[in-house]
Chain A
Amino acid sequence: NAGVTQTPKFQVLKTGQSMTLQCAQDMNHNSMYWYRQDPGMGLRLIYYSASEGTTDKGEVPNGYNVSRLNKREFSLRLESAAPSQTSVYFCASRQQGARETQYFGPGTRLLVL
């Protein structure tokens, strides 16, 4: 049981390049989330998926797109990377129902030059 996994661990992009961050969970959770974490700041929600087939914007969605490929996988895409998107990206998942806990992946550190 790996929990929440993310790839890649670290990525360097040039301004204007695109990339997709991958996230998968093996806990059979319904809800999945993408956050970004900038130095000195808390986690800010980019997008979330309450269940397979649905996605919604969070607090900072501009410049990103997401795909809930199936129940296990939730990807985040940067179509044209900008230096302001340099951050650490965390994926999380949560089981629907009484348990509220969000479980986080190990994070992807992204540097946009």
Chain B
Amino acid sequence: GENVEQHPSTLSVQEGDSAVIKCTYSDSASNYFPWYKQELGKRPQLIIDIRSNVGEKKDQRIAVTLNKTAKHFSLHITETQPEDSAVYFCAARSGNAGNMLTFGGGTRLMVKP
């Protein structure tokens, strides 16, 4: 089955700096890669996603890049703000796995004011 590794597990940045979270996946048939943000005690919420036919996608201060050859994808947050502090999860959907998502272990992002 699919295996998703996420790094780093914790990330501390100064307000205004950029943050980058990286994920690798194992199944070359995976074709959909969402990113979820989870604030303390809340449900995961989708912040951005990318499909395998696209190399990069941007939405205001967040962007995701995908390298299919290397089987890795990354989340980039620019001009970080304290409200960006949360746990971020990447996931991959394998085309052979009945639309199941496999999640990475999560990254706790702390933005210091």
Of all chain B residues, the one with the shortest Cβ separation from A42 is B103
Is there a chain B Cβ closer than 8 Å to A62's Cβ?
Answer: no
Instruction: Give A contacts to B, CB under 8 Å.
Output: 31, 33, 40-45, 48, 50, 56, 58-59, 90, 94, 100-107
The count of chain B contact residues (Cβ–Cβ below 8 Å) is 24
Question: Can you offer 30 A-B residue contacts whose CB atoms are under 8 A?
Answer: A33-B100, A40-B9, A40-B106, A41-B105, A41-B106, A42-B4, A42-B89, A42-B103, A42-B105, A43-B101, A43-B103, A44-B103, A45-B100, A50-B98, A59-B102, A90-B43, A94-B99, A100-B32, A100-B34, A100-B51, A100-B99, A101-B34, A101-B49, A102-B34, A102-B46, A104-B44, A105-B43, A106-B42, A106-B43, A107-B43
Instruction: Give B contacts to A, CB under 8 Å.
Output: 1, 4, 6, 9, 32, 34, 42-46, 49, 51, 89, 93, 98-106
Q: Using a Cβ cutoff of 8 Å, how many contacts connect chains A and B? A: 53
Enumerate chain A residues within 8 angstroms of B105, measured Cβ to Cβ. Answer: 40-42
* Chain B contact surface mostly: strand
Given A59-B1, A107-B43: A43 touches B100 (CB 8 Å cut-off): no
A42-B103, A48-B98, A105-B43 are known contacts; what are 6 more A-B pairs with Cβ within 8 Å?
A40-B106, A50-B98, A100-B49, A102-B46, A104-B44, A107-B43
